[in-house]
Chains A and B, each alone.
Chain A
Amino acid sequence: MDWYPLYNSLRIAAISTVAVFFLGIFAAYYIAKLPRLVKGVLDVVLTLPLVLPPTVVGWLLLCLLGPKRPLGAWVQAAFGVKLVMTWWSAIFATVVVAFPLMYRTARGAFESFDHNLADAGRTLGRSNAWVFWRVQMPVCKQGILAGTVLAFARALGEYGATSMIAGYTPGRTATISTTVYQLWRTNDDIGALKWVLVNIAISAVFLLAVNLLETRQRQKGGGR
């Protein structure tokens, strides 16, 4: 059995989760401070990928990054790199669809954060960065962790936009989800079943780990 789709899926999900982690937290932190109207508009725009069909996201991404489109053509001319149909093209798709999950959960966590804690830190002479990393992030850990897990799970399961922007090339752009589709399409039910089981196993292990983490967190106590 060729394990390339597993390796490819995991690295795409891992890289896009790291990207989405910082992008989502950054967006949540700064957007929470904006005036209500701007916040409302940005909120809709940033959450849209969550409710759009992945094919719509894929089509829009192709419009932007395709070899004959402005950005895609420019990158190709300047760097000689094609933005689509490579293994990392899928990262564009997974980042866009996973971002709203991270952004929304992080924002929810930041909104329920007691700002007196931040103000206390600042009156005690601590920098805004210290307050953010040493108080706000640890206090909002649950929400941030939940967002990260959801983003990773979503990135791992991405199919529609990925298949449009990265296609299916065995050994190059194949991911678990595109492989399952391809095997099913070619009547290879046994092959498809193997990958289905692999996917279920990963997801189950992942969720189990998160549950364990949460239980341990609760046993350690603390917090209010």
Chain B
Amino acid sequence: MALSVDIRKKMGDFQLEVQFEAEREILALLGASGCGKSVTLRCIAGILTPDEGKIVLDGVPLFDSAAKIDLPPQKRQVGYLFQQYALFPNMTVRQNIAAAVRDKQRRKAVTEEKLRQFRLEEVADKRPGQISGGQQQRAALARILASEPKTILLDEPFSALDSYLKYQLEVELAETLEQFPGTILWVSHDRNEVFRNCRRVCVLDQGKSQGTFTLRELFHEPVTEAAARLSGCKNYADAVPSGNAVSLPEWGLTLDCGKEVSADIRRVGIRAHHVTMTAANAPGAFPCEVLRVIQDVFITIVLLRPEGAAPDAPPLRMELERDAWHAAKNKGRVWITIQPRDILLLK
């Protein structure tokens, strides 16, 4: 086991309860902002102290409330990439990297090697405020690797950059991280970023970890509403299982699921792009009133109200290609169908 975390911490009204285990891999911590991702990283790095629990890195306990172990950050060998990189503004890039090498004999050699490796030679004598965001990120990463950590924590690595730069740097970062032999925790609120860079995902919701999933489990078969929300699913309704179908009282619908629905299902999720228009009175289709049409950059978003829906029911959101909506004949009332395999059954 490379990194195992099982901690609890109370901060005012906020209760953190995080449990996960990471191998030598890139594990994502995915959650909305304010869900405790950064607090978790800070506990692992030793900047914050959990109330109770255990953190073990490569067999070495970093924190263990039962055994009263709480190593200071200096002894943890945890590399932390801060959101704004936290480069020392009073030092040059070279000095920043050198500051991470504690062995005096090797300091110069390691520093120069990292400068070369991260293509920072040209800006080595500049200060962090004088170089670009991408260079800052490389410098921060070079500094972390110069300290020879056993694990690397990335706290929203691209939040400080604009989206164009982000894509270029993401590829670079992924290449650098491939060389790293230890565990990497990648904190993000962006499911696309996680999908592109990580194989497994630990979902955090309001301070509580919801378990660790593979990408397939999270994006194609999410089991909780929090996981479904993070995977980008936008429609939710209360559900009552009935044989091979679920009935959705809010929308006045009963949808066929194509298989036996387990009795502990309470909610369903339906991705907006799985809501599709079909011919009037097609089998399994239901009529909806069009409430609102919103033009997005490449798609059209249509808010629908199933005709049997309760007055206070949330609208059903449909997303489709602009042309497909353009081709629709009756733009006030449409017939909708949802494939059984596209209904996410949630506990």
Contact = CB atoms under 8 A, between A and B. Distances in A.
A111 interface: no
Contacts, number: 76
A120 B87 CA distance: 8
Contacts of B127: 221-223
B102 interface: yes
B89 A123 contact: no
A119 B73 CA distance: 8
Interface stretch (B77-85, B194-202, B257-265): B77-85
B129 A224 contact: yes
Contacts of B147: 123-125
A116 B84 contact: yes
Contact of A119 (B45, B79, B99, B102): B45
B144 interface: yes
A223 B102 contact: no
A222 B79 contact: no
B128 interface: yes
Contacts of B76: 123
B86 A114 contact: yes
Interface in A99-117: 114, 116-117
> Interface majority SS on A: helix, strand, loop or mixed?
helix
B74 A126 contact: yes
Nearest to B74: A125
Q: Which of A122, A138, A141 has the most CB of B within 10 A?
A: A122
Interface residues of A, number: 21
A135 B72 contact: no
A139 interface: yes
A135 B89 CA distance: 8
Contacts of B143: 124
Given A123-B45, A125-B102, A221-B127, A139 B89 contact: yes
A136 to B, nearest CB: 10
Contacts of B87: 120
B130 interface: yes
Nearest to A224: B129
Q: Which of B74, B79, B100 has the most CB of A within 10 A?
A: B74
Given A135-B90, A221-B127, A222-B89, A121 B99 contact: yes
A120 B129 contact: no
A122 B74 contact: yes
Interface string A117-149: 101111111110000001100110100000000
Contact of B129 (A122, A127, A138, A222): A222
B46 interface: yes
B28 to A, nearest CB: 21
A124 B128 CA distance: 17
Given A122-B73, A123-B45, A135 B88 contact: yes
B80 A224 contact: no
Given A116-B83, A221-B129, 14 more contacts: A117-B89, A119-B73, A120-B82, A121-B99, A123-B73, A123-B78, A124-B100, A125-B74, A125-B100, A126-B99, A139-B88, A222-B89, A224-B89, A224-B129
5 contacts: A116-B86, A119-B47, A123-B73, A141-B90, A221-B130
Interface of B: 42, 45-47, 72-74, 76-80, 82-84, 86-90, 99-100, 102, 127-130, 143-144, 147
